[in-house]
Structure 1
Amino acid sequence: MQNKNYEVLVVGAGHAGVEAALAAARLHKKTGLINLYTDKIALMPCNPSVGGPAKGIVVREIDALGGEMGKAADATALQTKLLNSSRGPGVWALRVQSDKEEYSKYMINKVQNQENLDLIVGAAIDLVVENNKIVGVQLQTGEIIYAKTVVLTTGTYLKSLILQGEEKTESGPNGEMTTKGISGSLKALGIDLFRFKTGTPARIYKDSVDLTNAAPEPGTDAKLAFSFSTKTFTPIEKQEMCYLIHTTKETKKIIEENLHRSPMYSGTVESIGPRYCPSFEDKVVRFGQKDTHQIFIEPESKNLDTWYIQGFSTSMPIDVQEKMLKSLPGFENMRVKHWSYAIEYDCIDPMQLKPSLELQKIQGLFTAGQINGTSGYEEAAGQGLIAGINAARQVDQKEPLILKRNEAYIGVMIDDLINKGVWEPYRLLTSRAEHRLLLRNDNAEQRLKEYGYKIGLIQEDEWKEYLNYLDENEKAVQELKEIRFTPKSELAEILLNKYQISLKQGYSGYELMKMPNIPVEEMIPFIPSMQNLRINQIQSITINARFEGYVKKELEQVERFNKLEKKQIPNDLNYDNVANLASEARQKLKKIRPLNIGQASRITGVNPADIQMLLFYLKSQYAND
């Protein structure tokens, strides 16, 4: 390592760090990536999967912007599913069961072969700051790596503790190193920290359990992928199988008899865990009326001989864990490779961040991932990509990329973090997005591809392919509007014979597309321009037709909201001078310093009356601006 000066320096090579480092390097910035190990990059210490409700759409968004997670997930998938396909398109989501070992190897290869990117093996223990501006990071060896911008993606490694019953061990995930210095450095800089907790289930040897009576959970044969670039798909017969079982009354009894030995309920731990991915003992307490719970049995890798026990994380002591596991059907003779544990760690209050993910108090210092109070690989990767882009753009003195809530789930997440804060590990849900009909699995490219191209992460050949993709969509829609099907047409006969659907009059193909009871697959043979389209294209055309009125109303509402986003608030505004603000609103506005009225209106504790007072003040003081 000859050059100790970087334009962008990323600390941590998890899912956030990898995306941040690759983005910065691909934007032609001299980038350093500090990690504790050379062979532990983009690990999956918990669930070996990518995607799911909302999360799967985030991965599609990452790909549309030029990130790597979607490509990696497609290339290393063991099984592929489209979730919620029986429900509305706003909640459709892709999920893959990942080969965790191959996923990490894929990302290691990308890091090692990326131009402008150096991997620096070491432990970061301190931040070097001068005049409220980051200038570098000190390693455990005493060496200082200098940088114009720094992105912290430290995951669950900050002052982390492993919890198993009465035992507390200073350790990172899977017995790796923990880091203490960065927490102290952040506190010294006036950054507020708090403690969160998460957990991971046991890993069980495959040959020690009997899944004969478990319900198979196969994947899909549909040609689905996260990445626009993916052209090959694994047929269902070559995909790995997952299974579903249920816990027993005995499992519940074991928990109830040993609840006092759980750190969460014994009083030895005060940190907050994820509500939407709770420990199993938490499930038993919160849903006391239920005697059994679903448990999914999932493969981790073709190279491993273990099952991942999804939904069965716990911080119980090992002797209790053994009883719990043996109470599961088919697990009477199970053998454990890795016991379950909870991990407690430091994170920052994300309300101290700008929408760019830069800390307000320290110029050039960005944070992304679990350090911001989120949970999940996808949430981390999405933040990492934005932080890496914005760190690189700051070096070039360019405006940051800030995605709106109507443009991306990534935009919803970051807006939530900085305006509402977190009181538990934040997980993206479709219910968090008020415009989820616009933020769909099928239209990530239409929403974000142009951003990726203009920033410089989408290359020219992919952009041309995308423009052709749009042209194909337009031609298909035009043909649908021009072609007509009479009651005596071949399609009408098929619909009557197979589905008892009678066409009483002539319809255009587009009019039929709008009817939810007309199977689209029956129409495609009669529409030449649709016959070679991707599944995402067909989904997009169908949804836009069937929900045309709703989408139009959503877009009108977005336009009204965007007017508020255009009303800028001066960064140096003294909120003490704004008359009649509620005390909580004044306090929150001072802390968050929103960029515009739209952002101010979304801050928890700022009410419509406060916004009116703020608008009145801005009009009186900045009438000529």
Structure 2
Amino acid sequence: MQADIVVVGAGHAGVEAALACARLNKKTILVNLYEDKIATMPCNPSIGGPAKGIVVREIDALGGEMGKAADATALQMKLLNSSRGPGVWALRAQSDKIEYSNYMKNVVNNQKNLTLKVGEVADILIDKNNKVTGVLLTDETKITCQAVILTTGTYLSSLIYRGSEKYQAGPNDEKTATRLSESFKKLNINYFRFKTGTPPRVKANSVDLSKAILEPGTDMQLAFSFSTTKPLPFAKQLPCYLLHSTPETKKIIEANLTKSAMYSGQIDATGPRYCPSFEDKIVRFNQKETHQIFLEPEAKALDTFYVQGFSTSMPIDVQEKMLKSLPGFENVIVDKWAYAIEYDCIDPQQLSLSLEMRQVPNLFTAGQINGTSGYEEAAGQGLIAGINAVRKLNVQNPFILKRSESYIGVMIDDIVTKGVIEPYRLLTSRAENRLTLRNDNAEVRLKQYGYELGLVSQQEYDKYLVFKKQIDEAIEELKNVRFSPKSDLALELDQLGQAHLSQGLSGYEILKQPQVDINVLVKYLDKLQNLSNNQLQNILINIRFEGYIKKENETIERFNKLEAKQIPNDVDYSKVENIAIEAKQILERIRPTSIGQASRITGVNPADIQMLLFHLKKKYNTV
């Protein structure tokens, strides 16, 4: 078999990578362990959340598929953190995990230039220069290609743990890839073990929901994708539920802690800090008697709840006691028991910012193999890896998103520059420029990139230009139209208690007042009418936070000056004088592409950066 690019693994990273390659006219083969398990949700059946939801919007703006799939298969849509600052607003969809996978399977099967091949990759083939030439499957099938993208998720030499039970399997007892990790040794790729876990699934009709708190979605027209014209109506949304564990739950954990696979010493791998097992919560937050737990529907075709926040590696008998200690779970019936899973992943500091392995040309990696966690983080990396694999074959410069223009850029810079010591999760706190990296402005930030890359069609880009023009015209109208204290708008705002106009003000000035709802102004201004929720949010935020945004843009400009100071590829760090030996070794290992990236490396101090700048000016006269 022959292809331009082979993508290994059809999870969320693999699907985005393969679609990007195929849509950019490269013959692509997507190798997966199963024919029907495409972009599955072995853990939480949801898309989005804080920071993650913005990543999905960015994927969509760049021409990816995740946002469209999430909109088409949502059971519930929610705007999170709407009572807080706009920098942390984010969409979250409770997804139908069956329909989501079916949607992606259909897209993959109907994509031109893309072929799905069922099999297990056993080896990465290279030439005498260590450059990728293909892959070898366990059935001895050889696929020749010019580039390979590894998106293996948690399937690499994975082990399932539940109490004292331990066996080789992938998520949900699926197959695991046992031979691919061996090829890493041949290629001198450093790798290690991480672990994650998942909670039990229970029969919904066995839970007394009268003892839980209803958690409905948001009654707004919400969508991840710019192309979604009919968002999920509020009336058709399915509810989630909130409850709390009990002091009895805590006692059961404490009495059986040594039976947990994690606390018995069976698992040495590092787990996720921001999605800990329930027993880990009890140990780390021992002063708390109860913890939040959410019940989330998994699919319309299933009568099951995902018990969010109740991940555990306890044996089944202890899990049963834990579950029955929860309010309303006295007669619970379990559909699937919880487990922990341990798997191989690589050290991402071996990658360039394009997600190409530095020591193995044309080998790219994306998703949990890079030490990240989450469907959204995986999809974002997969899209970038796919784009850059194509650009490498086309002899084009890599596509690198800056930290200042996307959460995807923040994530990739974090894992490549700083490395990972635990499964990496995107958080809003990781971004310095949260006010400019918002949910509402993903198109404004990235749509042009998607168009220029060739992943956004002319028709969609033209639609975006109209979208942007409508925003600009509405802002201009707000500046020019004034309202007197006796105007209908002024009287309505006063009656609603949102504002009291003692003098004539423009719509722009009125919107600067923090209590004013932009929706009240819509009927008084022609250019605001028929705008989408994202357009109205964009207008409101840009007006209300104008001063803060200006300051942040000034900071970004200074930051970008450091990023613009490129470091030549052939720098010999051993010859840079007056910097610490440790700094020389770290810089040599990571080989940053800019002074900005070098300054963010753990172990490299400001004094080292100054000496590096001096060396570059002296030797290259470029900085």
Residue of structure 2 in register with 1:254 after alignment: 252
Report how far residue 584 of structure 1 moved.
Answer: 2.0
- Does residue 548 (structure 1) correspond to residue 567 (structure 2)? The answer is no
Matches within 5 A, 1:289-304: 289-304=287-302
Residue of structure 1 in register with 2:205 after alignment: 207
Residue of structure 1 in register with 2:34 after alignment: 37
Structure 1 CA distance for aligned equivalents of residues 119 and 327 of structure 2: 45
Which residue, out of 318, 321, 324, partners 1:323?
Answer: 321
Bigger mean CA offset, 201-210 vs 426-435: 201-210
Q: Deviations over 1:149-169 (max 9, x none)?
A: 100000000110000011111
Structure 2 CA distance for aligned equivalents of residues 530 and 585 of structure 1: 54
- Does residue 97 (structure 1) correspond to residue 94 (structure 2)? The answer is yes
* 1:6 counterpart SS class: coil
Residue of structure 1 in register with 2:73 after alignment: 76
Structure 1 CA distance for aligned equivalents of residues 216 and 310 of structure 2: 21
Could you tell me which amino acid in structure 2 is paired with residue 105 of structure 1?
N
Report how far residue 83 of structure 1 moved.
Answer: 0.1
Report how far residue 477 of structure 1 moved.
Answer: 0.6
Could you tell me which amino acid in structure 1 is paired with residue 61 of structure 2?
A
* 2:149 counterpart SS class: strand
Report how far residue 479 of structure 1 moved.
Answer: 0.6
Report how far residue 147 of structure 1 moved.
Answer: 0.8
Report how far residue 555 of structure 1 moved.
Answer: 0.9
Residue of structure 1 in register with 2:406 after alignment: 408
Report how far residue 583 of structure 1 moved.
Answer: 2.0
What RMSD in Å do the two structures reach over aligned CA positions? 0.9
- Does residue 623 (structure 1) correspond to residue 614 (structure 2)? The answer is no
Residue of structure 1 in register with 2:502 after alignment: 504
Q: Deviations over 1:45-98 (max 9, x none)?
A: 000000000000000000000000000000000000000000000000000000
Matches within 5 A, 1:60-71: 60-71=57-68
Could you tell me which amino acid in structure 1 is paired with residue 417 of structure 2?
N
Q: Deviations over 1:1-21 (max 9, x none)?
A: xxx111111000000000000
Could you tell me which amino acid in structure 2 is paired with residue 139 of structure 1?
L
Residue of structure 2 in register with 1:353 after alignment: 351
Residue of structure 1 in register with 2:384 after alignment: 386
Which residue, out of 12, 16, 26, partners 2:13?
Answer: 16
Structure 2 CA distance for aligned equivalents of residues 552 and 153 of structure 1: 39
Structure 2 CA distance for aligned equivalents of residues 59 and 623 of structure 1: 41
Residue of structure 1 in register with 2:486 after alignment: 488
- Unaligned segments of structure 2, at least 5 residues: none
Q: Deviations over 1:230-280 (max 9, x none)?
A: 010222221111000111111000000000111211112110100000000
Report how far residue 495 of structure 1 moved.
Answer: 1.6
Report how far residue 501 of structure 1 moved.
Answer: 3.0
* Paired residues of 2:149 and 2:363 also in contact (CA < 8 A): yes
Which residue, out of 28, 47, 50, partners 2:47?
Answer: 50
Residue of structure 1 in register with 2:585 after alignment: 587
Structure 2 CA distance for aligned equivalents of residues 500 and 64 of structure 1: 34
Report how far residue 525 of structure 1 moved.
Answer: 1.1
Report how far residue 518 of structure 1 moved.
Answer: 1.6
Report how far residue 519 of structure 1 moved.
Answer: 1.9
Q: Deviations over 1:263-321 (max 9, x none)?
A: 21111211010000000000000110111111000100001111110000100011100
* 1:521 counterpart SS class: helix
Which residue, out of 4, 13, 20, partners 1:7?
Answer: 4
Structure 2 CA distance for aligned equivalents of residues 426 and 348 of structure 1: 13
Structure 2 CA distance for aligned equivalents of residues 496 and 272 of structure 1: 56
Bigger mean CA offset, 29-38 vs 235-244: 235-244
Which residue, out of 138, 141, 149, partners 2:139?
Answer: 141
Residue of structure 2 in register with 1:601 after alignment: 599
Which residue, out of 297, 306, 309, partners 1:308?
Answer: 306
Could you tell me which amino acid in structure 2 is paired with residue 289 of structure 1?
Q
Structure 2 CA distance for aligned equivalents of residues 391 and 532 of structure 1: 41
Residue of structure 2 in register with 1:424 after alignment: 422
Residue of structure 1 in register with 2:456 after alignment: 458
Residue of structure 1 in register with 2:109 after alignment: 112
Residue of structure 1 in register with 2:276 after alignment: 278
Q: Deviations over 1:177-212 (max 9, x none)?
A: 111211110122111111000001111111211111
* 1:265 counterpart SS class: coil
Structure 2 CA distance for aligned equivalents of residues 500 and 591 of structure 1: 57
Structure 2 CA distance for aligned equivalents of residues 381 and 22 of structure 1: 11
C-alpha distance 624-247 of structure 1, shift in aligned 2 (>3 A): closer
Structure 1 CA distance for aligned equivalents of residues 443 and 517 of structure 2: 25
* 1:502 counterpart SS class: coil
Matches within 5 A, 1:234-245: 234-245=232-243
Report how far residue 500 of structure 1 moved.
Answer: 6.6
Could you tell me which amino acid in structure 2 is paired with residue 12 of structure 1?
G
Residue of structure 1 in register with 2:220 after alignment: 222
* 1:323 counterpart SS class: helix
Structure 2 CA distance for aligned equivalents of residues 572 and 494 of structure 1: 67
* 1:541 counterpart SS class: helix
Could you tell me which amino acid in structure 2 is paired with residue 306 of structure 1?
T
Could you tell me which amino acid in structure 2 is paired with residue 136 of structure 1?
G
Structure 2 CA distance for aligned equivalents of residues 55 and 34 of structure 1: 27
Structure 1 CA distance for aligned equivalents of residues 20 and 536 of structure 2: 31
* 1:264 counterpart SS class: coil
Runs of 4+ in structure 1 off by over 2 angstroms are none
Which residue, out of 438, 441, 449, partners 2:439?
Answer: 441
C-alpha distance 412-624 of structure 1, shift in aligned 2 (>3 A): closer
Residue of structure 1 in register with 2:512 after alignment: 514
* Paired residues of 2:71 and 2:232 also in contact (CA < 8 A): no
- Does residue 265 (structure 1) correspond to residue 235 (structure 2)? The answer is no
- Unaligned segments of structure 1, at least 5 residues: none
Structure 2 CA distance for aligned equivalents of residues 502 and 594 of structure 1: 55
- Does residue 614 (structure 1) correspond to residue 612 (structure 2)? The answer is yes
* Paired residues of 2:222 and 2:232 also in contact (CA < 8 A): no
Report how far residue 357 of structure 1 moved.
Answer: 0.1
* Paired residues of 2:616 and 2:622 also in contact (CA < 8 A): no
Structure 1 CA distance for aligned equivalents of residues 163 and 498 of structure 2: 61
Residue of structure 2 in register with 1:28 after alignment: 25
Report how far residue 570 of structure 1 moved.
Answer: 1.2
Which residue, out of 119, 124, 127, partners 2:121?
Answer: 124
Q: Deviations over 1:328-354 (max 9, x none)?
A: 111111111110000000000000000
Instruction: Tell me the TM-score normalized by structure 2.
Output: 0.99
* 2:146 counterpart SS class: strand
Report how far residue 624 of structure 1 moved.
Answer: 6.4
Instruction: Tell me the TM-score normalized by structure 1.
Output: 0.99
Structure 1 CA distance for aligned equivalents of residues 606 and 405 of structure 2: 24
Report how far residue 504 of structure 1 moved.
Answer: 1.1
Residue of structure 2 in register with 1:576 after alignment: 574
- Does residue 163 (structure 1) correspond to residue 195 (structure 2)? The answer is no
* Paired residues of 2:195 and 2:271 also in contact (CA < 8 A): yes
* Number of residue pairs aligned between Structure 1 and Structure 2: 622
Structure 1 CA distance for aligned equivalents of residues 285 and 234 of structure 2: 36
Q: Percent identity of the aligned residues?
A: 66
